[in-house]
């Protein structure tokens, strides 16, 4: 059996996406990992399924590149929104369910293959100081540490160490973000992602984590923060009411790289 897929990327975070509304694909962890393998498979930071959902345009399911179903992915959410538009599953404005709740997205601009997407995120929670930095859950658990020069950080080595600290065992480990303040309302961020177990070119929920932590401890009057990641530029905007963040929006690019087919039995 052949299964159609799209290869999408958002600021360098890349994904295999499948329209699974007819349940044609069974996401076995070993198969997901094989498809995401960059040498023997299609190659991706993760795999996503678009599925039916009562009360929403669709459901987004996200799987890490090592196989298991995982928590929310912000760059993946933007790519999924563009994929849904391409697949005819939604229009310019949409609401979709994910593991962390309901998200709203808007396609702000769209060509044949590329678009700019604004994605509504769930309310950040669980703020705490931890391990010389900060912890916050933005749909996925994140650790944020401010550094003087993000380019000098050993993201792979130090990220792996922090990701596996006992302090974060209760969340299954954390994604680790190293953040340089480049100016008021401007950050440079590099992220070590669990599941990928390496640095990625961008992390959407990590960019949100860096932005809300920076707003809380570095520039509390700012409500829109530009986040420079290795794969491009993202923007995180939000409101703050009574010390709580609300109406959090992650805006950035998404692009269809190519479409193709595969046979599960080949993996």
For the annotated binding site for substrate, the residues are 13, 64, 74-75, 175, 193-194, 204-205
- Residue stretches of the annotated binding site: 13, 64, 74-75, 175, 193-194, 204-205
Reduce the secondary structure of the chain to three states and give it as a string.
Answer: CCEEEEEEEECCEEEEEEECCCCCCCCCHHHHHHHHCCCCCCCCCEEEEEECCCCCCEEEEEEECCCCECCCCHHHHHHHHHHHHHHCCCCCEEEEEECCEEEEEEEEEECCCEEEEEEEECCCEEEEEECCEEEEECCCEEEEEECCCHHHCCHHHHHHHHHCCHHHHHHCCCEEEEEEEEECCEEEEEEEECCCCEEECCCHHHHHHHHHHHHHHCCCCCCEEEEEECCEEEEEEEEEECCEEEEEEEEEEEEEEEEEEECHHHC
Catalytic residue among 36, 73, 79, 110: 73
What's the Rg (C-alpha) of the chain? 18
- Cα first-last separation, the chain: 12
List C-alpha distances in Å: 255 to 32, 59, 163, 234: 21, 20, 29, 14
Task: Copy the structure tokens of residue 32.
Answer: 């997901």
Question: What residues form DSSP beta bridges with 6?
Answer: 17, 259
Q: Active-site residue 203, yes or no?
A: yes
Q: Angle, nearest 10°, between helix axes 204-217 and 74-87?
A: 130
Q: Active-site residue 36, yes or no?
A: no
Would you name the residues annotated as active-site residues? 73, 203
């Amino acid at each position: 059996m052949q299964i159609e897929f799209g290869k999408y990327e958002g600021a360098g975070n890349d994904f295999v996406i499948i329209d699974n509304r007819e349940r044609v694909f069974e996401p076995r962890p070993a198969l997901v990992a094989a498809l995401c393998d960059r040498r023997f498979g299609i190659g991706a930071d993760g795999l996503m399924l678009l599925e039916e959902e009562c009360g929403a345009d669709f459901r987004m399911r996200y799987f890490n590149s090592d196989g298991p179903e995982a928590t929310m992915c912000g760059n993946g959410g933007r790519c999924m929104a563009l994929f849904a538009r391409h697949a005819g599953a939604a229009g310019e404005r949409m609401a979709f369910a994910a593991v962390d709740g309901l998200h709203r997205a808007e396609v702000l601009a769209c060509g044949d293959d590329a678009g700019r997407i604004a994605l509504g995120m769930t309310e950040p929670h669980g703020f705490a100081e931890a391990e010389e930095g900060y912890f916050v859950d933005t749909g996925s658990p994140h650790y944020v540490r401010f550094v003087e020069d993000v380019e000098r950080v050993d993201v792979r080595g130090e990220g792996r160490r922090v990701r596996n600290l006992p302090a974060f065992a209760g969340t299954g480990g954390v994604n680790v973000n190293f953040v340089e303040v480049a100016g008021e309302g401007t950050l440079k961020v590099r992220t070590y992602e669990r599941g990928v177990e390496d640095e990625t070119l961008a992390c959407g929920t990590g960019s949100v984590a860096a932005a809300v932590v920076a707003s809380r401890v570095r520039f509390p009057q700012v409500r829109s923060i530009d986040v420079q990641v290795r794969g491009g530029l993202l923007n995180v905007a939000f409101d703050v009411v009574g010390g709580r963040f609300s109406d959090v929006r992650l805006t950035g690019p998404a692009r269809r790289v190519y479409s193709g087919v595969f046979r599960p039995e080949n993996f």
